[in-house]
Amino acid sequence: MDHFNYHQGHLHAEGVPLSRIAAAVGTPVYVYSAATLRRHFGLFTQALDWTDHLVCFAVKANSNLAILKLMGDMGAGMDVVSGGEYARAKAAGVPGERIVFSGVGKTIAEMRQALEGGIRQFNVESEPELLALSQLADSMGAEAPIAIRVNPDVDAKTHEKIATGKSENKFGIPIARAREVYAQAAALPAIRVVGVDMHIGSQLTDLDPFRQAYAKMADLTRALRADGHSITRLDMGGGLGIPYRRDNNAPPLPIEYGQVIRETVGDLDCEIEIEPGRNIVGNAGVLLSSVIYLKHGEGRDFLILDAAMNDLLRPAMYGAHHDILPVNEPRLAADVQPFDVVGPVCETGDTFQKGADLPAMMAGDLVAFRSAGAYGAVMASEYNTRPLVPEVLVDGDQFAVIRGRPSIEEILSRDTIPEWL
């Protein structure tokens, strides 16, 4: 459930008509709903209310400082995958004790930044990383709390580009070798083993892969304890999917996901960490865009928008689907016809949807891409020298620009022409 609904024929974000935001900020623009974010975060904390837990928002899904502050103020932790994201979490007021650091390629500079600024745990993904972290922490007179990311070799049954828990993926340490690597970790200076970590993929719409992976995690935890390690935290990763099509069977709910965690690892008396990204912010955002031209092609009509693949990359990158809604509700459902909805970028891949059922529209009419809050703005670029897409946060009847649109002058000023040219 989200807070983007029609009122008197006009699509709103909470109490604000999207047309008002378009008039004030221009298009394309991302619009987020604070009430939806709060609601989704609440569903995850409820799903784990049977145990000690920390919901660590996956910053890579949406890293705007205002979004991070909103989440952090509700008590969320953060899962970061770079020094930049770590700095964002801190700038949003989240203390280091609530930040976990994931990722296969943490650099020495990034690990130092986290050790200096405070960190809840590093989710270590390889032996070379473990050795580098130990040496660094030792040289700083610090101690690095770690979990090892274990690859359980389960099929997440999701898109191949976002599956991470099969042995052929680059992520984590194969579960068969986990005990050996934990033994190595325990023997290293300046390393403190605190837990076990997994993250098997994104946009999972079935609970079975989670159940299989978490059952393996439970067995491993028992084995590690028998080996003498103190395992007090289990990081279950993120990945719970969202409905991208309104008419589709909805994926499992957070409460059902929480039950799977309880059934598989609930008896181990560990603090539970989860790292949802998409499920919290995906349906809390839309991309608002205007029609530039309606173009009649051969056997098809094109709706050319002012949003493009550089603003919302998911359709071009993963063939992802986003429902497209007209901001002015058509009076009769029968008034719709199929359009190929495209952007202005010079790539055929810049196609959002073929044959989308939409009412006849004119230049200047507005459309909204649903479910665009996660992996939307964060993946945006300035390809074709299109200014980086701005972001707006709505809360009740108020809205604020939380990232402004850069001017063309600002964009050009980042380049330098060497003197000798």
Ligand X SMILES: *Cc1c(COP(=O)(O)O)cnc(C)c1O
Binding site for ligand X (CB under 6 A): 58, 60-61, 79, 81, 102, 199, 202, 237-239, 275-279, 374
Q: Max alpha carbon distance in the chain (Å)?
A: 70
- Residue 63 or 134: the one with the smaller Cβ distance to ligand X is 63
**Among the residues of 227-267, which ranges form H helices?**
254-265
Please pick, among 187, 334, 346, 362, the residue that the annotation labels catalytic. Answer: 346
Check if the beta carbon of residue 284 is closer than 8 Å to that of residue 2: yes
The one-character DSSP state at 201 is B
**Nearest distance from residue 24's CB to ligand X, in Å?**
30
| b/e burial code for range 171-188 (CB count within 10 A of at least 16 → b) | bbbebeebeebbebbeeb
**Nearest distance from residue 187's CB to ligand X, in Å?**
26
**Nearest distance from residue 401's CB to ligand X, in Å?**
25
How does DSSP assign 42-83, residue by residue? HHHHHHTTTS-EEEEEEGGG---HHHHHHHHHTT-EEEESSH
Please state the φ and ψ torsions of residue 185, each to the nearest 5 degrees.
-60, -45
**Nearest distance from residue 278's CB to ligand X, in Å?**
4
**Nearest distance from residue 65's CB to ligand X, in Å?**
19
Three-state secondary structure string covering 302-329: EEEECCCCCCCCHHHHHCCCCCEEECEC
Check if the beta carbon of residue 242 is closer than 8 Å to that of residue 283: yes
Burial class (CB in 10 A: 0-12, 13-18, 19+), 203: buried
**Nearest distance from residue 275's CB to ligand X, in Å?**
4
- Residue 81 or 393: the one with the smaller Cβ distance to ligand X is 81
Check if the beta carbon of residue 188 is closer than 8 Å to that of residue 130: yes
- Residue 168 or 397: the one with the smaller Cβ distance to ligand X is 168
- Residue 265 or 358: the one with the smaller Cβ distance to ligand X is 265
- Residue 229 or 278: the one with the smaller Cβ distance to ligand X is 278
- Residue 46 or 413: the one with the smaller Cβ distance to ligand X is 46
- Asked if residue 254 has a cis previous peptide bond (ω within 30° of 0), the answer is no
Clarify whether 56 is annotated catalytic: no
Residues tagged active-site: 346
